[in-house]
Amino acid sequence: MRDHVPPSERPLLATHTTPSAQDRPSQAGAAAAMDLTEASAAGAAPGASDVDADLDVIIIGGGPAGSACALTLARQGRRVLVLEKAAFPRFHLGESLLPYGTTVLRRLGVLDAVAASDAVVKRGAEFCSTDPSHFRRVDFVSRDAERADYAFQVERAQFDALLLEQAARAGAQVIQQARVTDLILAADGRVRGVVYVAHADQAPQRVTARWIVDASGRAGVIAQRFQLRQANPRLRMVALFRHYTGCDERANPGVQGDIQVGYHADGWVWAIPIHETVLSVGVVTARDALPAQNPMTGADQVFAEHVGRIPRIAQRLPAAPPPPVRMETDFCYGCQQAWGPGFLLVGDAACFADPVFSAGVFLGLATGERAGQTIHDLLDDQEATASRSVARVQAQMEREAAALRAYDRFLKTGFDTYFRIIYGFYAAGCDFRQYLKWRLGRVADANYWITRTLAGDFWTAENPITTDLRSERAWDTLAPYDPLYGCPVYGDAPRSME
Protein backbone atom coordinates (compact mmCIF):
# COMPACT_ATOMS: atom_id res chain seq x y z
CA MET A 1 0.00 0.00 0.00
CA ARG A 2 1.16 3.51 -0.75
CA ASP A 3 2.12 5.69 2.23
CA HIS A 4 -0.21 8.62 2.84
CA VAL A 5 0.17 11.49 5.31
CA PRO A 6 -1.79 10.58 8.44
CA PRO A 7 -4.25 13.43 9.14
CA SER A 8 -3.43 14.81 12.55
CA GLU A 9 -3.32 18.06 14.45
CA ARG A 10 -1.40 16.70 17.42
CA PRO A 11 1.30 19.05 18.78
CA LEU A 12 4.97 18.49 18.05
CA LEU A 13 6.65 16.09 20.43
CA ALA A 14 9.19 17.51 22.85
CA THR A 15 12.42 18.20 21.00
CA HIS A 16 14.95 17.73 23.79
CA THR A 17 15.99 14.30 25.01
CA THR A 18 17.27 14.36 28.56
CA PRO A 19 19.99 11.88 29.55
CA SER A 20 18.51 8.51 30.45
CA ALA A 21 19.16 6.79 33.78
CA GLN A 22 19.13 3.66 32.87
CA ASP A 23 38.50 -8.38 7.02
CA ARG A 24 40.31 -5.07 8.71
CA PRO A 25 40.79 -1.37 7.97
CA SER A 26 43.15 -0.14 5.29
CA GLN A 27 46.89 -0.39 5.90
CA ALA A 28 46.98 3.20 7.11
CA GLY A 29 43.99 2.52 9.31
CA ALA A 30 45.57 -0.61 10.74
CA ALA A 31 48.64 1.40 11.68
CA ALA A 32 46.45 3.97 13.37
CA ALA A 33 44.62 1.22 15.20
CA MET A 34 47.90 -0.21 16.50
CA ASP A 35 49.00 3.22 17.67
CA LEU A 36 45.72 3.71 19.50
CA THR A 37 45.86 0.24 21.04
CA GLU A 38 49.25 1.00 22.51
CA ALA A 39 48.04 4.38 23.77
CA SER A 40 45.00 2.81 25.42
CA ALA A 41 47.11 0.12 27.05
CA ALA A 42 49.32 2.84 28.45
CA GLY A 43 46.35 4.76 29.83
CA ALA A 44 45.34 7.17 27.07
CA ALA A 45 42.73 8.79 29.28
CA PRO A 46 44.27 9.22 32.72
CA GLY A 47 41.70 9.58 35.45
CA ALA A 48 38.94 8.03 33.35
CA SER A 49 36.42 6.00 35.29
CA ASP A 50 35.14 2.71 33.88
CA VAL A 51 31.41 2.46 33.27
CA ASP A 52 29.99 -1.03 33.73
CA ALA A 53 27.44 -0.73 30.96
CA ASP A 54 27.30 -4.26 29.47
CA LEU A 55 26.14 -2.73 26.19
CA ASP A 56 25.47 -4.29 22.83
CA VAL A 57 26.09 -1.15 20.77
CA ILE A 58 27.48 2.35 21.25
CA ILE A 59 26.41 4.88 18.61
CA ILE A 60 28.52 8.03 18.27
CA GLY A 61 26.11 10.72 17.09
CA GLY A 62 22.37 11.28 17.34
CA GLY A 63 21.48 12.62 13.90
CA PRO A 64 19.11 10.78 11.53
CA ALA A 65 21.59 7.97 10.77
CA GLY A 66 22.40 7.40 14.45
CA SER A 67 18.74 7.58 15.48
CA ALA A 68 17.71 5.15 12.73
CA CYS A 69 20.37 2.71 13.88
CA ALA A 70 19.34 3.13 17.53
CA LEU A 71 15.65 2.65 16.72
CA THR A 72 16.35 -0.50 14.70
CA LEU A 73 18.38 -2.03 17.53
CA ALA A 74 16.37 -0.84 20.52
CA ARG A 75 13.07 -2.06 19.08
CA GLN A 76 14.64 -5.52 18.92
CA GLY A 77 15.68 -5.43 22.56
CA ARG A 78 19.32 -4.49 22.14
CA ARG A 79 21.13 -2.44 24.77
CA VAL A 80 22.11 0.77 23.01
CA LEU A 81 23.91 3.92 24.12
CA VAL A 82 23.79 7.03 21.92
CA LEU A 83 26.42 9.70 22.63
CA GLU A 84 25.57 13.05 21.01
CA LYS A 85 28.04 15.91 21.38
CA ALA A 86 25.44 18.68 20.91
CA ALA A 87 22.42 19.70 22.93
CA PHE A 88 19.31 19.12 20.82
CA PRO A 89 17.61 20.89 19.18
CA ARG A 90 20.50 22.29 17.17
CA PHE A 91 20.73 23.82 13.68
CA HIS A 92 21.54 21.59 10.71
CA LEU A 93 21.24 21.87 6.95
CA GLY A 94 19.56 19.22 4.82
CA GLU A 95 15.93 20.19 5.18
CA SER A 96 14.33 18.49 2.17
CA LEU A 97 13.56 14.76 2.35
CA LEU A 98 12.86 12.14 -0.34
CA PRO A 99 9.77 9.95 -0.83
CA TYR A 100 11.75 6.73 -0.40
CA GLY A 101 12.67 8.02 3.06
CA THR A 102 8.98 8.27 3.95
CA THR A 103 8.65 4.49 3.87
CA VAL A 104 11.80 4.12 5.98
CA LEU A 105 10.31 6.50 8.57
CA ARG A 106 7.17 4.36 8.65
CA ARG A 107 9.24 1.19 9.09
CA LEU A 108 11.15 2.81 11.95
CA GLY A 109 7.84 3.60 13.64
CA VAL A 110 8.20 7.39 13.56
CA LEU A 111 6.18 8.45 10.51
CA ASP A 112 3.10 9.41 12.54
CA ALA A 113 5.21 11.59 14.83
CA VAL A 114 6.85 13.36 11.87
CA ALA A 115 3.49 13.87 10.15
CA ALA A 116 2.03 15.26 13.40
CA SER A 117 4.75 17.88 13.62
CA ASP A 118 4.68 21.09 11.60
CA ALA A 119 6.73 19.55 8.79
CA VAL A 120 5.69 20.76 5.33
CA VAL A 121 4.41 18.04 2.98
CA LYS A 122 6.47 17.84 -0.23
CA ARG A 123 4.85 16.23 -3.26
CA GLY A 124 7.21 17.35 -5.97
CA ALA A 125 10.29 19.29 -7.04
CA GLU A 126 10.50 22.22 -9.41
CA PHE A 127 13.57 22.77 -11.60
CA CYS A 128 13.75 26.32 -12.93
CA SER A 129 16.26 28.57 -14.67
CA THR A 130 17.17 32.18 -15.35
CA ASP A 131 14.15 32.35 -17.67
CA PRO A 132 11.00 32.44 -15.48
CA SER A 133 9.02 30.74 -18.24
CA HIS A 134 11.46 27.82 -18.36
CA PHE A 135 10.70 25.44 -15.50
CA ARG A 136 9.60 21.86 -15.04
CA ARG A 137 8.05 20.01 -12.12
CA VAL A 138 8.75 16.43 -11.10
CA ASP A 139 5.57 15.11 -9.49
CA PHE A 140 6.13 12.32 -6.98
CA VAL A 141 2.59 11.02 -7.54
CA SER A 142 3.63 8.32 -10.00
CA ARG A 143 1.69 5.48 -11.54
CA ASP A 144 3.44 3.02 -9.23
CA ALA A 145 0.96 2.28 -6.45
CA GLU A 146 3.50 0.71 -4.08
CA ARG A 147 5.74 3.74 -3.68
CA ALA A 148 5.24 6.70 -1.35
CA ASP A 149 4.08 9.77 -3.24
CA TYR A 150 5.29 12.45 -0.82
CA ALA A 151 8.10 13.47 1.48
CA PHE A 152 8.60 16.31 3.97
CA GLN A 153 10.39 19.64 4.21
CA VAL A 154 11.64 19.90 7.78
CA GLU A 155 13.45 22.18 10.15
CA ARG A 156 16.29 19.85 10.99
CA ALA A 157 16.62 21.11 14.57
CA GLN A 158 13.12 19.84 15.32
CA PHE A 159 13.22 16.78 13.04
CA ASP A 160 16.51 15.44 14.40
CA ALA A 161 15.41 16.02 17.99
CA LEU A 162 12.15 14.20 17.31
CA LEU A 163 13.97 11.15 15.91
CA LEU A 164 16.40 11.06 18.84
CA GLU A 165 13.54 11.31 21.30
CA GLN A 166 11.80 8.42 19.55
CA ALA A 167 15.00 6.36 19.90
CA ALA A 168 15.04 7.09 23.64
CA ARG A 169 11.38 6.12 23.94
CA ALA A 170 12.19 2.84 22.15
CA GLY A 171 14.70 2.01 24.88
CA ALA A 172 18.02 3.49 23.76
CA GLN A 173 20.02 5.34 26.41
CA VAL A 174 20.73 8.82 25.07
CA ILE A 175 23.31 11.20 26.53
CA GLN A 176 23.52 14.64 24.95
CA GLN A 177 26.48 17.02 25.21
CA ALA A 178 28.71 13.94 25.41
CA ARG A 179 31.86 14.31 23.34
CA VAL A 180 33.85 11.21 22.39
CA THR A 181 37.54 11.90 22.97
CA ASP A 182 39.16 8.51 22.39
CA LEU A 183 38.55 4.94 21.31
CA ILE A 184 39.18 1.80 23.35
CA LEU A 185 40.81 -1.00 21.38
CA ALA A 186 41.54 -4.59 22.26
CA ALA A 187 45.02 -6.00 21.78
CA ASP A 188 43.98 -7.37 18.39
CA GLY A 189 42.92 -3.89 17.20
CA ARG A 190 39.17 -4.41 17.51
CA VAL A 191 37.28 -1.30 18.61
CA ARG A 192 35.67 -2.21 21.94
CA GLY A 193 34.50 1.09 23.35
CA VAL A 194 34.94 4.84 23.71
CA VAL A 195 36.08 7.44 26.16
CA TYR A 196 33.73 10.40 26.38
CA VAL A 197 33.30 13.58 28.39
CA ALA A 198 29.80 14.67 29.37
CA HIS A 199 28.84 18.31 29.84
CA ALA A 200 27.41 17.61 33.29
CA ASP A 201 30.53 15.77 34.48
CA GLN A 202 33.88 16.60 32.92
CA ALA A 203 35.50 13.43 34.23
CA PRO A 204 36.33 11.12 31.29
CA GLN A 205 34.07 8.07 31.13
CA ARG A 206 35.04 4.73 29.60
CA VAL A 207 32.27 2.57 28.21
CA THR A 208 32.50 -0.64 26.19
CA ALA A 209 30.17 -2.56 23.90
CA ARG A 210 30.28 -5.39 21.41
CA TRP A 211 29.84 -3.00 18.47
CA ILE A 212 30.51 0.68 17.85
CA VAL A 213 28.72 2.72 15.17
CA ASP A 214 30.20 5.97 13.88
CA ALA A 215 27.21 8.23 13.17
CA SER A 216 29.13 11.40 14.00
CA GLY A 217 28.56 13.04 10.62
CA ARG A 218 31.25 15.26 9.20
CA ALA A 219 33.26 14.94 12.42
CA GLY A 220 33.89 11.30 11.49
CA VAL A 221 35.26 10.22 14.87
CA ILE A 222 36.22 6.72 13.73
CA ALA A 223 36.49 7.48 10.02
CA GLN A 224 39.07 10.19 10.67
CA ARG A 225 41.00 8.17 13.25
CA PHE A 226 41.52 5.30 10.83
CA GLN A 227 42.02 7.59 7.83
CA LEU A 228 39.12 6.03 5.94
CA ARG A 229 37.88 9.29 4.40
CA GLN A 230 38.97 11.03 1.20
CA ALA A 231 37.91 14.47 -0.03
CA ASN A 232 36.01 14.49 -3.32
CA PRO A 233 38.00 16.78 -5.65
CA ARG A 234 35.20 16.79 -8.25
CA LEU A 235 32.83 18.63 -5.92
CA ARG A 236 34.81 21.46 -4.34
CA MET A 237 31.77 23.62 -3.80
CA VAL A 238 30.60 26.19 -1.29
CA ALA A 239 27.06 26.66 0.03
CA LEU A 240 25.77 30.06 1.20
CA PHE A 241 22.36 30.08 2.84
CA ARG A 242 19.76 32.02 4.82
CA HIS A 243 16.46 31.28 6.54
CA TYR A 244 13.92 33.96 5.62
CA THR A 245 11.04 34.53 8.02
CA GLY A 246 7.79 36.33 7.34
CA CYS A 247 7.28 34.45 4.08
CA ASP A 248 3.96 33.30 2.69
CA GLU A 249 4.05 29.88 1.03
CA ARG A 250 0.87 30.80 -0.83
CA ALA A 251 3.07 33.16 -2.86
CA ASN A 252 4.99 30.19 -4.25
CA PRO A 253 4.69 30.56 -8.05
CA GLY A 254 4.71 26.78 -8.31
CA VAL A 255 3.12 24.15 -6.07
CA GLN A 256 3.00 24.81 -2.34
CA GLY A 257 5.42 22.61 -0.42
CA ASP A 258 7.69 21.80 -3.37
CA ILE A 259 11.41 22.36 -3.29
CA GLN A 260 12.70 24.66 -6.03
CA VAL A 261 16.11 24.07 -7.62
CA GLY A 262 17.15 26.93 -9.87
CA TYR A 263 20.14 26.44 -12.15
CA HIS A 264 22.37 28.96 -13.89
CA ALA A 265 25.81 29.11 -15.49
CA ASP A 266 27.74 29.23 -12.20
CA GLY A 267 25.83 26.83 -9.98
CA TRP A 268 22.37 26.45 -8.53
CA VAL A 269 19.99 27.88 -5.93
CA TRP A 270 17.59 26.09 -3.59
CA ALA A 271 14.36 27.29 -2.01
CA ILE A 272 12.78 25.04 0.63
CA PRO A 273 9.69 25.99 2.67
CA ILE A 274 10.44 24.52 6.11
CA HIS A 275 7.41 26.21 7.70
CA GLU A 276 4.48 28.11 6.22
CA THR A 277 6.32 31.35 6.99
CA VAL A 278 9.99 30.25 6.83
CA LEU A 279 11.91 29.74 3.58
CA SER A 280 15.39 28.23 3.43
CA VAL A 281 17.31 29.68 0.49
CA GLY A 282 20.81 28.60 -0.48
CA VAL A 283 23.37 29.18 -3.20
CA VAL A 284 25.83 26.48 -4.27
CA THR A 285 28.76 27.49 -6.44
CA ALA A 286 32.46 26.78 -6.98
CA ARG A 287 34.73 27.56 -4.05
CA ASP A 288 36.80 29.96 -6.14
CA ALA A 289 33.76 32.22 -6.62
CA LEU A 290 34.61 33.67 -3.19
CA PRO A 291 37.80 35.41 -2.01
CA ALA A 292 40.46 32.86 -1.09
CA GLN A 293 41.66 34.55 2.11
CA ASN A 294 38.38 35.63 3.70
CA PRO A 295 35.50 34.12 1.76
CA MET A 296 32.78 35.63 3.93
CA THR A 297 33.72 39.12 2.72
CA GLY A 298 32.16 38.28 -0.63
CA ALA A 299 29.36 36.05 0.61
CA ASP A 300 26.52 38.60 0.67
CA GLN A 301 27.27 39.85 -2.83
CA VAL A 302 27.55 36.35 -4.34
CA PHE A 303 24.39 35.21 -2.56
CA ALA A 304 22.31 38.18 -3.73
CA GLU A 305 23.62 38.03 -7.28
CA HIS A 306 23.04 34.30 -7.70
CA VAL A 307 19.57 34.30 -6.14
CA GLY A 308 18.68 37.25 -8.35
CA ARG A 309 19.41 35.14 -11.41
CA ILE A 310 16.45 32.84 -10.63
CA PRO A 311 13.28 34.99 -10.84
CA ARG A 312 10.91 32.24 -9.63
CA ILE A 313 12.89 32.03 -6.38
CA ALA A 314 13.80 35.72 -6.01
CA GLN A 315 10.14 36.77 -6.16
CA ARG A 316 9.40 34.74 -3.01
CA LEU A 317 11.78 36.66 -0.73
CA PRO A 318 10.19 39.02 1.80
CA ALA A 319 10.91 42.73 1.75
CA ALA A 320 12.25 42.77 5.34
CA PRO A 321 16.03 42.98 5.88
CA PRO A 322 17.52 39.49 5.41
CA PRO A 323 19.29 37.51 8.14
CA PRO A 324 23.07 37.03 7.93
CA VAL A 325 24.46 34.67 5.29
CA ARG A 326 25.94 31.42 6.61
CA MET A 327 28.42 29.20 4.80
CA GLU A 328 29.46 25.56 4.40
CA THR A 329 32.50 24.81 2.26
CA ASP A 330 34.51 21.87 0.86
CA PHE A 331 31.92 19.50 2.22
CA CYS A 332 32.03 16.51 -0.18
CA TYR A 333 33.93 13.32 0.64
CA GLY A 334 33.73 9.55 0.46
CA CYS A 335 35.04 6.64 2.48
CA GLN A 336 37.21 3.88 1.11
CA GLN A 337 35.87 1.42 3.69
CA ALA A 338 32.77 1.69 5.87
CA TRP A 339 33.68 -0.94 8.46
CA GLY A 340 36.50 -2.37 10.51
CA PRO A 341 36.96 -4.74 13.44
CA GLY A 342 34.09 -3.94 15.80
CA PHE A 343 32.68 -0.89 14.01
CA LEU A 344 30.54 0.41 11.15
CA LEU A 345 30.18 3.86 9.60
CA VAL A 346 26.74 5.24 8.71
CA GLY A 347 25.40 8.29 6.88
CA ASP A 348 27.55 11.40 6.71
CA ALA A 349 30.26 9.77 8.81
CA ALA A 350 31.01 7.66 5.74
CA CYS A 351 30.22 9.91 2.77
CA PHE A 352 28.77 13.31 2.05
CA ALA A 353 27.65 14.56 -1.35
CA ASP A 354 26.42 17.82 -2.82
CA PRO A 355 22.87 18.44 -1.52
CA VAL A 356 21.31 19.26 -4.90
CA PHE A 357 18.92 16.27 -4.95
CA SER A 358 18.24 16.21 -1.19
CA ALA A 359 19.35 12.62 -0.55
CA GLY A 360 21.42 13.15 2.61
CA VAL A 361 18.77 12.31 5.20
CA PHE A 362 17.46 9.37 3.18
CA LEU A 363 20.94 7.88 2.81
CA GLY A 364 21.49 8.40 6.54
CA LEU A 365 18.22 6.67 7.43
CA ALA A 366 18.82 3.81 5.00
CA THR A 367 22.40 3.10 6.08
CA GLY A 368 21.57 3.59 9.76
CA GLU A 369 18.72 1.08 9.53
CA ARG A 370 20.83 -1.40 7.54
CA ALA A 371 23.76 -1.09 9.98
CA GLY A 372 21.41 -1.69 12.91
CA GLN A 373 19.93 -4.80 11.32
CA THR A 374 23.38 -6.08 10.34
CA ILE A 375 24.62 -5.70 13.91
CA HIS A 376 21.47 -7.27 15.37
CA ASP A 377 21.92 -10.32 13.14
CA LEU A 378 25.61 -10.57 14.03
CA LEU A 379 24.81 -10.38 17.74
CA ASP A 380 22.31 -13.20 17.30
CA ASP A 381 24.96 -15.24 15.53
CA GLN A 382 27.57 -14.50 18.20
CA GLU A 383 25.19 -15.52 20.96
CA ALA A 384 24.28 -18.75 19.18
CA THR A 385 27.97 -19.58 18.73
CA ALA A 386 29.02 -18.92 22.35
CA SER A 387 30.96 -21.74 24.03
CA ARG A 388 31.07 -23.81 20.85
CA SER A 389 33.94 -25.51 19.10
CA VAL A 390 36.87 -23.65 17.58
CA ALA A 391 35.64 -24.60 14.14
CA ARG A 392 32.20 -23.12 14.78
CA VAL A 393 33.70 -19.93 16.20
CA GLN A 394 35.91 -19.64 13.13
CA ALA A 395 32.87 -20.11 10.89
CA GLN A 396 31.06 -17.39 12.84
CA MET A 397 33.99 -15.02 12.32
CA GLU A 398 33.88 -15.70 8.60
CA ARG A 399 30.14 -14.95 8.53
CA GLU A 400 30.83 -11.71 10.39
CA ALA A 401 33.40 -10.63 7.83
CA ALA A 402 31.00 -11.48 4.99
CA ALA A 403 28.18 -9.49 6.62
CA LEU A 404 30.42 -6.46 7.10
CA ARG A 405 31.60 -6.62 3.51
CA ALA A 406 27.97 -6.83 2.37
CA TYR A 407 27.12 -3.74 4.41
CA ASP A 408 30.10 -1.93 2.88
CA ARG A 409 28.86 -2.82 -0.62
CA PHE A 410 25.35 -1.65 0.29
CA LEU A 411 26.52 1.74 1.57
CA LYS A 412 28.86 2.31 -1.38
CA THR A 413 26.20 1.37 -3.95
CA GLY A 414 23.80 3.97 -2.58
CA PHE A 415 26.31 6.78 -2.18
CA ASP A 416 28.15 6.02 -5.42
CA THR A 417 24.89 6.15 -7.36
CA TYR A 418 24.01 9.47 -5.76
CA PHE A 419 27.45 10.92 -6.53
CA ARG A 420 26.93 10.00 -10.18
CA ILE A 421 23.50 11.64 -10.37
CA ILE A 422 25.19 14.82 -9.16
CA TYR A 423 28.04 14.50 -11.68
CA GLY A 424 25.47 14.20 -14.46
CA PHE A 425 23.73 17.33 -13.18
CA TYR A 426 26.93 19.39 -13.30
CA ALA A 427 28.14 17.85 -16.57
CA ALA A 428 25.00 19.19 -18.26
CA GLY A 429 25.36 22.71 -16.87
CA CYS A 430 23.09 21.98 -13.89
CA ASP A 431 20.25 20.76 -16.13
CA PHE A 432 19.64 17.09 -15.32
CA ARG A 433 17.07 16.62 -18.09
CA GLN A 434 19.60 17.93 -20.59
CA TYR A 435 22.04 15.32 -19.30
CA LEU A 436 19.47 12.59 -19.96
CA LYS A 437 18.93 13.81 -23.52
CA TRP A 438 22.68 13.92 -24.06
CA ARG A 439 23.43 10.45 -22.69
CA LEU A 440 20.28 8.43 -23.14
CA GLY A 441 18.30 10.04 -25.92
CA ARG A 442 14.74 8.80 -25.71
CA VAL A 443 14.39 6.63 -22.61
CA ALA A 444 11.31 4.45 -22.63
CA ASP A 445 8.93 5.83 -20.00
CA ALA A 446 11.44 8.57 -19.15
CA ASN A 447 9.22 10.55 -16.77
CA TYR A 448 8.57 7.47 -14.66
CA TRP A 449 12.29 6.69 -14.29
CA ILE A 450 13.20 10.32 -13.62
CA THR A 451 10.64 10.41 -10.82
CA ARG A 452 11.92 7.16 -9.34
CA THR A 453 15.53 8.31 -9.54
CA LEU A 454 14.86 11.64 -7.83
CA ALA A 455 12.66 9.94 -5.22
CA GLY A 456 15.59 7.78 -4.02
CA ASP A 457 15.84 4.77 -6.35
CA PHE A 458 19.59 4.33 -5.89
CA TRP A 459 19.95 0.56 -5.43
CA THR A 460 17.96 -1.12 -8.21
CA ALA A 461 19.63 -2.64 -11.25
CA GLU A 462 16.74 -2.13 -13.69
CA ASN A 463 16.67 1.69 -13.61
CA PRO A 464 18.06 2.77 -17.04
CA ILE A 465 19.17 6.16 -15.72
CA THR A 466 21.27 4.92 -12.80
CA THR A 467 22.54 1.99 -14.88
CA ASP A 468 23.95 4.42 -17.43
CA LEU A 469 25.44 6.62 -14.72
CA ARG A 470 27.24 3.62 -13.20
CA SER A 471 28.78 2.79 -16.56
CA GLU A 472 30.77 6.04 -16.65
CA ARG A 473 34.22 4.99 -15.44
CA ALA A 474 35.47 8.60 -15.37
CA TRP A 475 33.02 9.18 -12.51
CA ASP A 476 34.36 6.43 -10.26
CA THR A 477 34.68 8.00 -6.82
CA LEU A 478 35.11 5.20 -4.29
CA ALA A 479 37.64 2.38 -4.20
CA PRO A 480 36.61 -0.46 -6.54
CA TYR A 481 33.78 -2.49 -5.05
CA ASP A 482 31.15 -5.03 -6.09
CA PRO A 483 27.76 -3.25 -6.14
CA LEU A 484 24.99 -4.71 -3.99
CA TYR A 485 21.73 -4.26 -5.85
CA GLY A 486 18.27 -4.62 -4.34
CA CYS A 487 16.11 -1.74 -3.13
CA PRO A 488 16.27 -1.41 0.69
CA VAL A 489 12.86 0.26 0.72
CA TYR A 490 10.67 -1.75 -1.65
CA GLY A 491 12.79 -4.83 -2.27
CA ASP A 492 12.46 -6.49 -5.64
CA ALA A 493 8.68 -6.08 -5.82
CA PRO A 494 7.52 -5.74 -9.42
CA ARG A 495 6.28 -2.40 -10.63
CA SER A 496 2.64 -2.05 -9.64
CA MET A 497 0.47 0.12 -11.84
CA GLU A 498 -2.63 1.98 -10.71
For 251-304, the pLDDT digits (tens) are 889 999 999 999 999 999 999 999 889 999 999 998 888 888 888 888 999 999
Tell me, yes or no, if the pTM score tops 0.95: no
- Which pLDDT tens digit goes with each residue over 26-49? 434 433 433 333 333 333 333 334
- The whole-number pLDDT of residue 251 equals 82
Rounded to 5 degrees, what angle do the CA atoms 422, 428, 430 make? 60
The residue that leads in pLDDT, 56 or 434, is 56
pLDDT average, residue stretch 2-12:
37
Could you tell me which CATH class the domain 237-329 is placed in?
alpha beta
pLDDT in tens, 63-108: 999 999 999 999 999 999 999 999 999 988 888 999 999 999 999 9
Rounded to the nearest integer, the mean pLDDT of the chain is 85
| Strand ranges inside 323-424, DSSP E | 326-329, 333-335, 339-340, 343-345
Q: Do the domains at 10-117+155-232+333-498 and 237-329 have one common CATH topology?
A: no
**Does 25 score more than 80 pLDDT?**
no
β pairing state of 120-122 and 135-139 = unpaired
Identify the band that residue 496 occupies on the pLDDT scale cut at 50, 70 and 90: low
pLDDT at residue 387, rounded to an integer: 64
Distance of CA 55 to the CA centre of its chain: 25
Percent of the chain with pLDDT over 70: 87
- The per-residue DSSP string of 203-251 comes to EEEEEEEEEEEE--GGG-HHHHHTT-EEE-GGG-EEEEEEEEES--GGG
377 burial via Cβ count (<10 Å: 0-12, 13-18, 19+): middle
CA dist 416 and 459 (Å) reads: 10
Lowest mean pLDDT among 300-304, 318-322, 378-382: 318-322
Backbone angles phi, psi at 72, to 5 degrees: -60, -40
* Helix 360-385 and helix 390-427, axial crossing angle in degrees, nearest 10: 170
Q: Which segments of 126-181 does DSSP mark as H helices, in order? A: 156-169
Higher local confidence (pLDDT), 355 or 316:
316
The residues pairing with 137 across neighbouring beta strands, listed in sequence order, are 126
Omega within 30 of 0 (cis) for the link into 89: yes
pLDDT attached to residue 472: 92
Residue 21 has pLDDT above 70, yes or no: no
Q: What is the pLDDT of residue 56?
A: 97
Pick the CATH number of 10-117+155-232+333-498 from 3.20.20.70, 3.30.1300.10, 3.40.50.1370, 3.50.50.60: 3.50.50.60
The pLDDT, as a whole number, for residue 288 is: 85
pLDDT at 473 over 50: yes
Contact between 367 and 411 (Cβ < 8 Å): yes
Contact in structure between 61 and 216 (CB atoms under 8 Å): yes
pLDDT reading at 482 higher than 60: yes
| pLDDT for position 35 | 37
Ordered by start, the domain boundaries in the chain are 10-117+155-232+333-498, 237-329
Range 34-43 contact pairs with CB under 8 angstroms and sequence separation of 24 or more: 34/189, 36/182, 36/183, 36/185, 36/225, 37/185, 37/186, 37/187, 37/189, 39/182, 40/182, 40/183, 40/184, 40/185, 41/187
**Residue range 168-176: mean pLDDT, rounded:** 97
CB 209 within 8 A of CB 344: no
120-122/151-153 β-pairing = antiparallel
- Tell me: pLDDT of 148 over 50: yes
Q: What is the share, in percent, of the chain residues with pLDDT greater than 90?
A: 64
Q: What is the mean pLDDT of residues 389-399?
A: 87
Q: By mean pLDDT, which of 12-16, 50-54, 109-113, 417-421 is the weakest?
A: 12-16
pLDDT at 11: 28
